[in-house]
Structure 1
Amino acid sequence: MQHTPRRTGAAERAGAQNGVQRGNFAFRVLFIIAATAVAFALYKLSTLVFLIAGAIVIAVIIHLIADPLCKRLSMPPKLAVFAAVLFLLAIMGGAGYLFGSKAADQFDRLAENLPQAIGQLQETISRGPFGRAVSGALTGEGGASAIDIAGFVRSMIGGVLTSLVYLVSTATAGVIFAMYPEHYRDGALKLLPPRLRPRVRDAVNLSGKSLKGWLVGQLIAMAIIGTLTSLGLMVIGLPSWLALGLVAGLAQFVPVVGPILSALPGLILAASIDVTMLLHALIVYVGVQQLESNFITPFVMRQTASIPMALTVFSIIGFGMLFGGLGALLATPITVAIYVLLQKLYIEDEFGDDLNIHGEKQA
């Protein structure tokens, strides 16, 4: 009889341990289900997620102008943001007034000339020994071109209203984020346990500094690439040189992949004229890209965290495959932010490595 209570106590402890294990197992299963549901929801709402990311990028651009106003002119933060927004609107309005009509006219001509250039190029290629196979690959059933630029333009026009709604909404959200950055950052941090908030806040701030540095370098690169490409194409006499230069400058926002794709319309248009024009256009595009890769890109990399080029390329491809053009467009800034967060919160915290992340000492 004396051993019965001891066996009962052992049984109770074993039952308690089993109950704890079952509870832990149930919690893990529920956590996995919840994480899967959140991931699925984010995938289904990927457009909304990328619009939020775009709003954050716009807010960072606004602060590129507002922060110096606060430091050097001692402006209140909200007034500096308002002044920065007015400055950006004035820049866009002035550019539209000076170049808008000419650029619009050249874009119209480009949309008209490209389908003809593609057809002429296919006809020229089909005359060679290997041209029939290439031409067959570019031609669908009934002889219709698989690269239907006119159809692509029409489909884009059909989505102009939706794009405008997205653009206005994203820009408005970006201004709001710029007005109250700490409010939204701290509100998101309240979802975390209190002990984690200071560390995550520092990591988020550092990620924002790195993203700001990347944007500074990227905007400079876009302006230089667009200007040099326009001037080069104008010198060789290629039609729609201003529109093609604007395309090259804007495409620079998507590193590596964007510049390659932006060169295709100009090269196709040049090939439809003659071989000499094609050679001259190729020299312009290759020369500008050599300048970009040897001088501009190293400058950009000094302004931000050192992100491996292969990671940049595969992030663009992966985001593009999963989420389409919007994902490819915002893949690099999102990768910059996530890369810094992983370095700060995972590699440094879990393994104790001192990575000396760009901008950390200044922060």
Structure 2
Amino acid sequence: MSKLIDIFLHLDAYLNTWATDLGAWLYAILFTVIFAGYLLANPVADQAAAFGRDVPGIIDDANAQLEDLQQYFDEQGVDVEIVAQGQTALQTLQDKVVGGTDEIVGFGGDVLQRVVTAGLALVLVVVLSIYMLLYGPRIGQVVRSVMPPGDGTPEDDFPTRLQQAVLGYLRGQALFSLLMGAGAGLGLWIFGKLGIFDAGDDYALVFGIFFGLMELIPFVGPVLGAMPPVLVALFQDPLTAVWVGLLFLALQQLEGHLVAPYIFGHALRINPLLVIFALLFGGEIYGIIGALVALPLAAMLRETVVYLRRHLVLEPWGTAMPLPEAGPSPPPADDASGDRTEVASGR
């Protein structure tokens, strides 16, 4: 978007036309999303409601099969009670499924409002981003007027240093996600070749990409990224699920104690120990959102401290400015002029 705004700024003669076309496209996309949501809301809600009505019949058939299986065990002399436990589990499943379908139906009835709200929020974000980019130079001038002046080079320009700090965080985050996704995909591929996890040989790339994307979410991201391969392994064999879980546990330990501190410490020029403290502090203060913004804020704080330390000169501790020495105060001007008058008259 920044490059797009630069093009607009260099084409002043066509800026109004392009802005009008951009607004028209945004409104067209918003209308399309709202209309598609309106068309799909009722069919999805109807199918969910129909499935919810069919669930009790499916549960009754399953209970009948459980009774037949229990009768077979009784005839064979096998002392196993499965009807009570099975009926309890099926009843729980029925309650969950019916409750979930009710939520889908309720969501379908409210989907138009949700889509409109999300669309307006998206348009607002785009418009605010455009205006921030358009007025970026003015914002930079305001910041420069508040901070001490630099030497005129980009390396000593405070807004530029802040921008570079945020870009460093984004580069570090991209490299971090790439490394963790590659590690997960490689580990699953090795498991597939060794015969530990058969699906790992076929879906290592998909699982690795998904794990890398989930690494963008602090704290819960590694758990969300590990869930699909662990669930697939669980359907294959419980022991396989244990091995896959241990793989992702090892990746998470490497992430928290080695990869993340080193990459972000190098990208942000912050001590790796401070990276860990910043993540913990941000997560403790404001949860996932706090951990997400902790590192860029820490990088901006570092650049601010370095800049002020370079351009502000503070007095050392224990020193005081010398006070002026006390002396006789000069006579008033009127008295002095009177003395001169008296001397002149005496002559």
TM-score grouping bracket, smaller chain normalisation: 0.3 to 0.5
Choose between structure 1 and 2 for higher RCO, CA contacts under 8 A separated by at least 6 residues: 1
TM-score by length of 2: 0.45
- Structure number with greater Rg is 2
TM-score by length of 1: 0.43
